[in-house]
Amino acid sequence: MDAEAFLTNRMVQDAVVRNIEIIGEASHNIETLSPDFAAAHPELPLAFAYQMRNAVAHGYFKVDLQIVWNAIRNELPQPSQRVRALIADMSGS
């Protein structure tokens, strides 16, 4: 999907924003419930994910979809790959 398709598809926008909320809330839970894990993995942008969650969850009609698009295309892939690698390491795969 390209930026134009994202910016014109309300259903996809809503799904992406909802997933940002879920990722952010999970990140906050990791920071508060598993601080040792969070400290051991400073490469995971847990605080940033929670801040992004707060921005989209409380932004209501002020969410800048171009910023969301840039985040999912440029910021999310690296942490996503790192999380997948951590899961594989923890499960012994």
The domain tally of the chain equals 1
To the question of pTM greater than 0.95 for the whole model, the response is no
Per the annotation, the verdict on 58 as an active-site residue is: yes
Identify the active-site residue in 53, 73, 82, 84: 53
Establish whether 53 is a catalytic residue: yes
Per-residue 3-state assignment (H helix, E strand, C coil) for the chain:
CCHHHHHHCHHHHHHHHHHHHHHHHHHHHHHHHCHHHHHHCCCCCHHHHHHHHHHHHHHHHHCCHHHHHHHHHHHCHHHHHHHHHHHHHHHCC
**The predicted structure's pLDDT at residue 93:** 65
Which residue range is the domain that position 67 belongs to? 3-91
pLDDT digits (tens, 9 = 90+) for 17-76: 999 999 999 999 999 999 999 999 999 999 999 999 999 998 867 899 999 999 999 988
Q: Which of 10, 18, 41, 58 is catalytic?
A: 58
pLDDT of residue 34: 97
